Amino acid sequence: MNKKLAAALSGGAVLVVAMSGCTSGSGEKEPDPKLVSWAKSVCDAVPPQDAKIRSANASIAAIATDTNLPPKSAQKTYAQAFQDMADGYKALADALDGAGAPPGIDGGAKLQQDASKNLAGLSTSYAELKKKVDGLDTKDQGKFARGLKEVASQSKEVGKQGESGTQALKRLEQDDVKKAMAKQPSCKVAASATAQPAGSATAG
């Protein structure tokens, strides 16, 4: 059962990849310096939040196959992971809000607001999942398992929400915005973390 929960949650890190998978071809026209400065303010927020969300996914994956884990320990791990995800997405939404519309991009304000709204919505959803986990009955193994099942199906919905968030970010990261982000070392750091094999943090 817990494997389902882990699978439903592992989509979390994918969203950050959309913000950090920045590559740029050589010999292209340089993006506007104002846009480069905008990209820096967004990209600089990515690595710490990417690490936080990745770590939350890893901690859930690590306990997903442990059938002997006491409910109280499982509850603590899930609650912390959901809290970290809520915090991570909130910080990314705040970074986009703080950066404002990308300069010189047609319809940039709407694209930026859509992406930010999606991230903020994900943060709220993970905070709700944490609340649900906090309220589970850890004294009764059967009740706890049933409660986790509900959390798993709810987290599946959050996974779908994450997919639309990824699409919103990809729409924002087109053309000149993508080029400007490709110039940011902080985006490259997150992109190289993404290239690491999944599950490497779950040993033990």
Residue of higher predicted confidence among 91 and 145: 91
pLDDT (tens digit per residue) in 45-77: 888 988 898 899 888 888 877 778 899 999 999
Mean pLDDT of 170-195: 77
What is the predicted pLDDT for the residue at 178? 87
Collapsing DSSP to helix, strand or coil, 31 comes out as: coil
Please tell me the predicted confidence (pLDDT) of residue 9: 56
What pLDDT does residue 38 have? Answer: 93
Please name which of 97, 77, 18, 89 lies closest in space to residue 48, comparing C-alpha atoms: 89
Residue 201: the pLDDT is 37
Q: pLDDT tens digits for 117-170? A: 999 999 999 999 999 999 999 999 889 989 988 888 888 888 888 888 888 888
**pLDDT greater at residue 176 or residue 6:** 176
Count CB-CB contacts under 10 A for residue 98.
Answer: 11
CA-based nearest residue to 134, from 64, 85, 80, 89: 80
Highest mean pLDDT among 24-33, 67-76, 88-97, 168-177: 88-97
pLDDT value at position 8?
A: 56
**Residue 140 per-residue DSSP state:** -
Q: What pLDDT is attached to residue 26?
A: 52
- 43-52 in b/e form (b: 16+ CB < 10 A) is bbbbbebbbb
Q: How far apart are CA 18 and CA 14, in angstroms?
A: 7
**What type of residue sits at position 81?**
A
Which whole number is the average pLDDT over 36-40?
92
Which residues does 7 contact at the CB level (< 8 Å), separation at least 6? none
Mean of per-residue pLDDT scores for the chain: 81
Of 181, 38, 184, the closest CA to residue 99 belongs to 38
Task: Give 97: exposed, middle or buried? Use CB within 10 Å, 0-12, 13-18, 19+.
Answer: middle
pLDDT score of 69 = 85
